[in-house]
Amino acid sequence: MAEKRKIIIDTDPGQDDAAAILLAFGSPEELEVLGITTVAGNVPLALTSRNARMICELCGRQDIKVFAGADRPVKRPLITAEHVHGKTGLDGPVLPAPTMALQEQHGVDFIIETLRREPAGTVTLCTLGPLTNIALALEKAPDIAPRVRELVMMGGGFFEGGNITPAAEFNIYVDPEAAQAVLKSGIPVVMMPLDVTHQLLTLKKRVEAIRAIGTRPAIAMVEMLEFFERFDVEKYGSDGGPLHDPSTVAYLLKPELFKGRDCNVEVELESELTVGMTVVDWWQVTDRKHNAKVMRHVDSDGFFALLAERFARV
Ligand code: RIB
Ligand code: CA
């Protein structure tokens, strides 16, 4: 059997973050979750840190260490998304308050310490929210950049445009300076933009396949999805909403589900109109260096079949 991939999940739960975490927990043969670091994003840090622990306990994974990270972007004031995720950030199911404690260590220091301890090239960062923690870790410990095996991020958008502004996707928009720092770091980046995640719609039949699993985690996941999708169904008039974050973990499990190409990606930092936009040189019209594998196509039925299969194991 192939070597398990060691991952750190950096997250701002968030119902779709929860789906990514359940997918990771349902794949213990392939993935070893070294820890979860939380960041302010969908909701403030106190709530993302509470939600991450509630998700772990929902899955019976009190063994997982959860570290609180940055409570605001590196430079800008925090922008949150309660309008999408509800005031708790995990609206939908009624879940008990967490009993497991947060780790004392700051999430940024956990990332640095883990990358320095584990053999170089063996730890993957799976980022589901603004990239603040990663940027702060790189600033504090530039030596960790070459030690990262890969950074798989949910973030950005190009052909699909933006979701929080016409030009910018939320995770990048909240902390564009952090995103730019990561993209300039030399870390091998795999980018899951809205161009992919807008193909991953929580169609009724897909949600029913998860409900049919019948376990408490699966039912809670359905309740999260039914809450989470209402905003996008309203906005896009689609059957179901885009399920963004699990695309990152699905890539680690079945990369063949995705198609994309190596590109240069830069982030707009100045313009009021387009700040946070990920400018993807998809047609290679500049000589700017490739710094990300940008995904554009996905087998969405294969993706949801993987989710249903792995959720059943949680
Ligand atoms: O734009 C979608 C992203 O923003 C997802 O990660 C969602 O959880 C929110 O953080
Ligand atoms: Ca997220």
Choose which residue among 16, 160, 243, 249 to substitute to test ligand 1 binding: the one with the highest number of ligand atoms within 8 A of its C-beta.
16
Q: Does the beta carbon of 15 sit less than 6 angstroms from any atom of ligand 1?
A: no
Whichever domain contains 62, its CATH number is 3.90.245.10
- Write out the two tokens for 34: 């070294």
Q: Is the pLDDT of residue 295 over 90?
A: yes
DSSP structural state of residue 201: B
Give, using CA atoms, the residue closest to atom 1 of ligand 1.
170
Alpha-carbon dihedral angle through residues 83, 223, 50, 132, given to the nearest 10 degrees: -50
Alpha-carbon distances, residue 121 vs 113, 149, 154, 197, 215 (angstroms): 14, 4, 21, 27, 36
| Residue matched to tokens 């008990």 | 96
| Number of independent structural domains in the chain | 1
64-121, pLDDT tens digit by residue?
A: 999 999 999 999 999 999 988 899 999 999 999 999 999 999 999 999 999 999 999 9
202-211, pLDDT tens digit by residue?
A: 999 999 999 9
186-236, pLDDT tens digit by residue?
A: 999 999 999 999 999 999 999 999 999 999 999 999 999 999 888 888 888
Catalytic residue among 85, 244, 290, 297: 244
CA of 14 to the centre of ligand 2 (A): 6
167-190, pLDDT tens digit by residue?
A: 999 999 999 999 999 999 999 999
287 is in which domain, residue-wise?
5-311
31-63, pLDDT tens digit by residue?
A: 999 999 999 999 999 999 999 999 999 999 999
Q: Does the beta carbon of 232 sit less than 6 angstroms from any atom of ligand 1?
A: no
Q: Does the beta carbon of 127 sit less than 6 angstroms from any atom of ligand 1?
A: no
Atom of ligand 1 nearest to the CA of 163: 1
Q: Does the beta carbon of 42 sit less than 6 angstroms from any atom of ligand 1?
A: yes
| pTM (two decimals) | 0.98
Atom of ligand 1 nearest to the CA of 242: 2
Interior angle at CA 91, CA 105 and CA 18, nearest 5: 50
Picking from 271, 40, 280, 47, the residue whose alpha carbon sits closest to that of residue 178 is 40
Give the separation between CA 13 and CA 267, rounded to whole angstroms.
24
Which pLDDT band holds residue 1 (cuts at 50, 70, 90)?
A: low
5-17, pLDDT tens digit by residue?
A: 999 999 999 999 9
DSSP structural state of residue 242: B
| Strand 66-68 relative to strand 258-263, pairing | unpaired
83 is catalytic: no
237-292, pLDDT tens digit by residue?
A: 888 999 999 999 999 999 999 999 999 999 999 999 999 999 999 999 999 999 99
